[in-house]
Amino acid sequence: MKELLKIQNCNKHFDGITALDNFNCEISKNEILGLIGPNGAGKSTLFNVITGFIPADSGMINFKNFNISKKTPSKINNYGISRTFQDLRLIRQMTVLENVLLAFKDQPGEHLENVFFRNNKVKKIESENKKKAMELLKNTGILNKANDLADDLSYGQQKLLSLLCCLASDAELLLLDEPIAGINPAMIEKILSIINELPKQGKSVIIIEHNMDAINKICNRVVFMDAGKKVSEGTPAEVRNDPKVIEAYLD
Amino acid sequence: MTYLLHILIFIGIYIILSISLNLLAGYTGILSIGHAAFYGIGAYVAALMALKLNSPFLLNIFLAIIASAIIGALVGIPSLRIKDDYFIIATFAFQIIVFSILNNLVSFTGGPMGLPGIPQPVILGIKISSHISFSILITILCAFTFYVSNKIVKSPFGRILKAIREDEIFAQSLGKNISAYKVKIFMISAGLAAIAGVMYATYITYIDPTSFTVMESIFIISIVIIGGAGNLWGSVLGAIVLVMLPEALRFIGLPNAVAANIRQMLYGGLLVAFMLWRPQGFIGEYTFNRNNEK
């Protein structure tokens, strides 16, 4: 197995709170890694550090053997890491279709010289992207919502849409922050089955989730975090039975 | 008739100004109260070129756009670091600086005396001097501004502008280099505003710094908000309504001195009323509301 992302000795402190404490972790190609731990353990901070939204105090993050620490969020996304947010971010005043279209990479229409002087190319790629976006919406059963504002979707559909935006951005590594928290069981099934298919398409996933059934279902490896440290690592069963994990939850 | 054409020309100038500000404020969510400064820069660049170098109108308008866009980039870059209210203060400072320069660089800009005798445009041998020919020229320039702006906002580029307005963090997480987009739209907005400045200078044939103060910026913002932010037709509608409104006051027989003051009160009152009861303006799709900032 080839490693895709390697996090070495990452530290992050916020005014006396240790969010990451000498954190080390790696993820291989085509793997789904579960990241679990109590609230405030530093899981979301880890995502923010990997994706460049929060700079680490120290440490190194390598993606495909390339140092991405200190890069901007947009660059990191363009290298091939996409993410969702725990507090669900979407462009609510745009339609579902536009949200997905926004996510596609290398759009000629994002450059003004093309908008004014290579209109045919812009139109061609835009209609191709539209087709791809419709396909994504169709496969996940929200095609009929394509022209609704994202704001008008149910919470579960919004979570699904933010996952679709991640998929449209064609990243090799997806960081999903509680993708199924607070939604109905049918939607949970749907989202989990999408995630489960990703390794077959050459993608890897790190998923933060409190729902242990879901973790058991889709992850073959789990990292347990507490107070910014990696406490335990292994198969879901191993981690669940690790005395250190039990102790951390009882604290 | 001349009077009506005069009003039409001013409506045209304010359509250009409000559409250009709408790109920045309405579509990208970056509110600036320094827009009249770019209007002034356009007017002064074209006027000085014509007066000192006797250069042709088309070259003047081109250079006015370029100069204004470059200065726009310089003002836009701080917007990457300072946000919202603080950025508004920064654009206010910029507005004051431009006014002070125009007002104090007497040897170059004429200071408070302004620049009289600005030549009227000559395009391909045709002299634009009558009201009717000015109306035609301003209509063409309005159409050009609308075309360029419409093309931008309907493109994937425009989609990113809206994404920046609604949620910068989400846009970044999808790999959009939002800083580059902000600076670009700032340059376009400033460049287009310069067109209005050139038209004003060559139509009135006299400019002085008091035409390009913060009051003027606020008037342009009023057009954008009352017409409807995030909708180009809103700016057209807003310009028509707000330019014609004080003219209507004239017809109800108020003395001029009173009408001028009532005009200011009316604009202020309208702005407050719209902010309270119809923040999206006549036909806008964006409200400058704190709740949509995350």
CATH number for the domain including A76? 3.40.50.300
Report the percent of chain A where pLDDT is more than 70: 99
Per-residue confidence (pLDDT) for residue B258, from 0 to 100: 80
Tokens 């922050």 found at: A177
Query: What is the tens place of the pLDDT at every residue in A89-128?
Result: 999 999 999 999 999 999 999 999 999 999 999 999 999 9
Per-residue confidence (pLDDT) for residue B265, from 0 to 100: 85
Residue A1 pLDDT greater than 80, yes or no: no
Per-residue confidence (pLDDT) for residue A45, from 0 to 100: 95
B84-104 helix and B35-48 helix, angle to the nearest 10 degrees = 30
Residue A94 lies in a domain: no
Per-residue confidence (pLDDT) for residue B293, from 0 to 100: 44
Which of B144, B148, B154, B170 has the most A C-beta neighbours within 10 Å, making it the best mutation to test the interface with A? B170
The DSSP bridge pattern shows strands A58-63 and A66-67 to be antiparallel
Taking residue A135's Cβ as centre, other Cβ atoms within 10 Å add up to 11
Residue of A nearest to B176 (CA): A74
Residue A189 lies in a domain: yes
Report the percent of chain B where pLDDT is more than 70: 98
- Place B292 in a pLDDT band, splitting at 50, 70 and 90: very low
For chain B, list residues whose CB is within 8 angstroms of any CB belonging to chain A. 148, 151-152, 155-157, 159-160, 162-163, 166-167, 169-178, 184, 188, 285-286, 292, 294
Residue A59 CB contacts under 8 Å (≥ 6 apart), including other chains: A7, A8, A9, A10, A11, A20, A22, A23, A69
Q: How far is A119 from chain B (nearest CA, A)?
A: 10
Per-residue confidence (pLDDT) for residue B45, from 0 to 100: 97
Cβ B44 vs Cβ B63: under 8 Å: no
The DSSP bridge pattern shows strands A204-208 and A17-28 to be unpaired
Residue B112 and residue A10: Cα distance in Å, rounded?
Answer: 60
- Place B289 in a pLDDT band, splitting at 50, 70 and 90: low
Residue B51 CB contacts under 8 Å (≥ 6 apart), including other chains: B115, B117, B118, B119
Query: What is the tens place of the pLDDT at every residue in B120-173?
Result: 999 988 999 999 999 999 999 999 999 999 999 999 999 999 999 999 999 999
Size of interface A-B (CB pairs under 8 A): 87
- Place B48 in a pLDDT band, splitting at 50, 70 and 90: very high
Query: What is the tens place of the pLDDT at every residue in B254-283?
Result: 777 787 788 888 888 888 899 888 888 998
- Selecting from A82, A109, A165 the residue whose C-beta is nearest the C-beta of B155 gives A109
Locate A200 and state its tokens. 């077959």
Cβ B110 vs Cβ B48: under 8 Å: no
- Selecting from B157, B174, B178 the residue whose C-beta is nearest the C-beta of A115 gives B157
Q: Which amino acid is at B69?
A: A
- Selecting from A94, A102, A111 the residue whose C-beta is nearest the C-beta of B174 gives A102
Across the interface, whether the CB atoms of B167 and A126 are under 8 A apart is answered no
Cβ A154 vs Cβ A141: under 8 Å: no
Across the interface, whether the CB atoms of B160 and A102 are under 8 A apart is answered yes
Which of A53, A89, A100, A128 has the most B C-beta neighbours within 10 Å, making it the best mutation to test the interface with B? A89
**DSSP character at residue A241:** T
Across the interface, whether the CB atoms of B173 and A89 are under 8 A apart is answered yes
Q: Which amino acid is at A45?
A: T
Which of B80, B147, B173 has the most A C-beta neighbours within 10 Å, making it the best mutation to test the interface with A? B173
Across the interface, whether the CB atoms of A94 and B166 are under 8 A apart is answered yes
Taking residue B69's Cβ as centre, other Cβ atoms within 10 Å add up to 22
Across the interface, whether the CB atoms of A165 and B174 are under 8 A apart is answered yes
Residue A147 pLDDT greater than 80, yes or no: yes
Residue A167 lies in a domain: no
Q: How far is A215 from chain B (nearest CA, A)?
A: 25
- Selecting from B167, B175, B294 the residue whose C-beta is nearest the C-beta of A77 gives B175
User: What is the three-class DSSP state of A2?
Assistant: coil
User: What is the three-class DSSP state of A166?
Assistant: helix
Across the interface, whether the CB atoms of A102 and B167 are under 8 A apart is answered no
Residue B290 pLDDT greater than 60, yes or no: no
Query: What is the tens place of the pLDDT at every residue in B59-113?
Result: 999 999 999 999 999 988 877 788 778 889 999 999 999 999 999 999 999 999 9
Phi, psi of B134 (to 5 degrees): -65, -40
Question: Which uninterrupted H or E stretch holds A14?
Answer: strand A3-14
Average pLDDT of span A171-193: 95
On chain A, the residues whose CB falls within 8 A of the CB of B279 are none
On chain B, the residues whose CB falls within 8 A of the CB of A172 are none
On chain B, the residues whose CB falls within 8 A of the CB of A173 are none
Cβ A154 vs Cβ A185: under 8 Å: no
Q: How far is B266 from chain A (nearest CA, A)?
A: 32
Residue B22 and residue B220: Cα distance in Å, rounded?
Answer: 9
Residue B183 and residue A50: Cα distance in Å, rounded?
Answer: 27
- Place A251 in a pLDDT band, splitting at 50, 70 and 90: low
User: What is the three-class DSSP state of A124?
Assistant: helix
Q: Considering only CA atoms, which of B62, B28, B292, B64 is closest in space to residue B186?
A: B28
Question: Which uninterrupted H or E stretch holds A214?
Answer: helix A212-218
Residue A233 and residue A244: Cα distance in Å, rounded?
Answer: 11
- Selecting from A78, A90, A109 the residue whose C-beta is nearest the C-beta of B170 gives A90
Locate A55 and state its tokens. 């700079």
User: What is the three-class DSSP state of A32?
Assistant: strand
Residue of A nearest to B294 (CA): A89
- Selecting from B159, B166, B188 the residue whose C-beta is nearest the C-beta of A101 gives B159
Q: How many distinct structural domains can be found in chain A?
A: 1
Cβ B35 vs Cβ B20: under 8 Å: yes
Residue A81 and residue A87: Cα distance in Å, rounded?
Answer: 19
Domain limits at A185?
3-87+172-250
Phi, psi of A10 (to 5 degrees): -80, 135
3-state helix/strand/coil string of chain B: CHHHHHHHHHHHHHHHHHHHHHHHHHHCCCCCCCHHHHHHHHHHHHHHHHHHHCCCHHHHHHHHHHHHHHHHHHHHHHHHCCCHHHHHHHHHHHHHHHHHHHHHCHHHHCHHHCECCCCCCEECCEECCCHHHHHHHHHHHHHHHHHHHHHHHHCHHHHHHHHHHHCHHHHHHCCCCHHHHHHHHHHHHHHHHHHHHHHHHHHHCCECHHHHCHHHHHHHHHHHHHHCCCCHHHHHHHHHHHHHHHHHHHHCCCCHHHHHHHHHHHHHHHHHHHHHHCCCCCCCCCCCCHHHCC
Residue of A nearest to B153 (CA): A115
Residue B139 and residue B124: Cα distance in Å, rounded?
Answer: 18
